[in-house]
A and B are shown apart, each in its own frame.
Chain A
């Protein structure tokens, strides 16, 4: 039985200054699944995520989360609905400690020790670096911190932009394991990714973008199995990029 949609984008247009970036994006993120958003560089994937978060305002169309329109809300209000965002830049506060970075993502009561322990099981290095300045972490450790910050409280949806960018293969495997653990908890995730090994390993459903719109939606397994489709949509096959 298909999962009910948690997030729906319907004909979303976004302008950045004089540039028309999104040309009517239609996207459905089913609840409890991991949706991959794929596409070549510059097709509007990051803009789509930023539009969902209200960091760029949609100039047309609608964004619906749990049945309510959110495209007119400000970013803080969207975040408070339970949507966590991990930007491509990771958004780590380098002058703050690891603990302070995480604390900012918690509610007034502070840390849930059980959730924190689970995070430390997945990313033990964060426990070791707990009181160190986040600016001193490696790229992979910063990404672990960014993802941990997104899940330190229970969220309805994680929106993650290219978490493996610039990371070593060993770190990527670590991140794949972390996302698999999240999937096991039925957390809904929308993930932009260029690493197709990761996309194939994690994705339940997939949407492929081109020129500011979604041109394909389906099951990730179907796309991974069809090299002709990959070549047509992405310009290459997944197998060649593993």
Chain B
């Protein structure tokens, strides 16, 4: 039996407390709408950021090119959904979800393969040097964006949501966007899958150990570089899936869609605690909720709300909500 008495529950209470505090400040229906919108945004952010937190936590690699894989995922969504217009426009939820699933799978595979190449060709040369990592991955982001423009053209591309996922339904007097429920469901599935993988498999055990003390993992006979390549591929694949979900949500795709999300993704990773998947999940939901609540209550503060959130969290817990111990 785990020693639950030693668990610090306070970080888990941040989201419920925030949701409860927001209720008196608005009508009940608005509160439901904004809470679901915040949760959906949080889930999409989590999918994009979860790989980055492991990439940083496991190998101390600052990958500023992470946004490039979000962009590639978004453009693949345009291509795949564009080529499956009969499924996208069909008045059938099952066929619509099938088209979305196809886009998610193709994007995950493509960005995973791209991530493998990126790690082998670029990232492996700059292990141990944060400055070189920042410079080379920023360069990678710029090159990737230009390649995207060369392949798909410079003009913004429109992307319609699948027919059955457009519009809203009413719950307790509040309008809930259907697509947001899909995003919430997918985010929960990704979190559950990552949680199970990390806690119930040998590879997950190695990743958790490596995040904490990679030198000791090597001293136990494991080649952590190989493990890292696997995590890098999974992380970039998840970024691609996040790119698909975000593109369909925005219904407009530009070459800068990934780099625009980079700051938010880094805020999520920092708030959650570098290397913590649960922290990333809670941090993403927190960022999504704050963006929506503040956007409604005080639009002037909306742009800076997430920076203020990060400052507040770090003042309280300098290593993030769920710090991962490292020797």
Residues of A at the B interface (CB closer than 8 Å) are 53, 55, 74-76, 79-80, 85, 87, 89, 91, 93-97, 100, 103-105, 131-133, 135-136, 149
Contacts and interface: CB of A to CB of B under 8 A. Distances in A.
A150 to B, nearest CB: 9
Interface stretch (B158-166, B219-227, B232-240, B282-290): B219-227
B223 A91 contact: no
Interface stretch (B84-92, B209-217, B293-301): B209-217
B205 A133 contact: no
Contacts of A85: 219
Contact of B208 (A55, A95, A105, A131): A95
A100 B205 contact: yes
Given A74-B223, A131-B1, A133-B6, A96 B215 contact: no
Contact of A87 (B212, B219, B221): B219
B273 to A, nearest CB: 11
Contacts of B206: 104
Contact of A79 (B1, B205, B218, B324): B218
A90 to B, nearest CB: 9
Nearest to B5: A136
Contact of A104 (B1, B209, B223, B324): B209
| Interface size band for B | 20 to 34
A105 B3 contact: no
B2 interface: yes
B324 A95 contact: yes
Contact of A93 (B216, B218, B224): B216
Interface in B268-327: 324-325, 327
Contacts of A97: 2
Interface string B24-41: 000000000000000000
A99 to B, nearest CB: 10
18 contacts: A55-B215, A75-B215, A76-B221, A79-B218, A89-B327, A91-B219, A91-B327, A93-B213, A95-B208, A95-B325, A96-B205, A100-B205, A100-B209, A103-B205, A104-B217, A131-B2, A133-B3, A136-B3
Contacts, number: 68
Interface of B: 1-3, 6, 205-206, 208-209, 212-213, 215-224, 324-325, 327
A96 B327 CA distance: 14
Contacts of A96: 205, 208-209, 212
Contacts of B2: 97, 131-133
A52 to B, nearest CB: 11
B219 A75 contact: yes
Given A96-B209, A133-B6, A136-B6, A75 B218 contact: yes
B209 A93 contact: yes
A76 to B, nearest CB: 5
A84 B150 CA distance: 53
Contacts of A93: 208-209, 212-213, 216
B218 A76 contact: yes
A75 B1 CA distance: 34
A94 B205 contact: no
Nearest to A89: B327
Contacts of B224: 76
A204 to B, nearest CB: 25
Contact of A132 (B3, B212, B218, B324): B3
Given A91-B213, A96-B209, A131-B1, A105 B220 contact: yes
A79 B6 contact: no
A166 to B, nearest CB: 15
B219 A55 contact: yes
A185 to B, nearest CB: 21
B243 to A, nearest CB: 30
A237 B226 CA distance: 49
A239 to B, nearest CB: 35
Given A80-B221, A93-B208, A100-B205, A87 B325 contact: no
Nearest to A130: B1
Contacts of A87: 216, 219
Nearest to B217: A104
A107 to B, nearest CB: 9
A10 to B, nearest CB: 23
Interface centre among A85, A95, A135 (most CB of B within 10 A): A95
Contacts of B208: 93, 95-96
Nearest to B6: A136
B78 to A, nearest CB: 40
B220 A79 contact: yes
What 4 pairs between A and B have smallest CB-CB spacing?
A91-B216, A79-B221, A132-B3, A75-B218
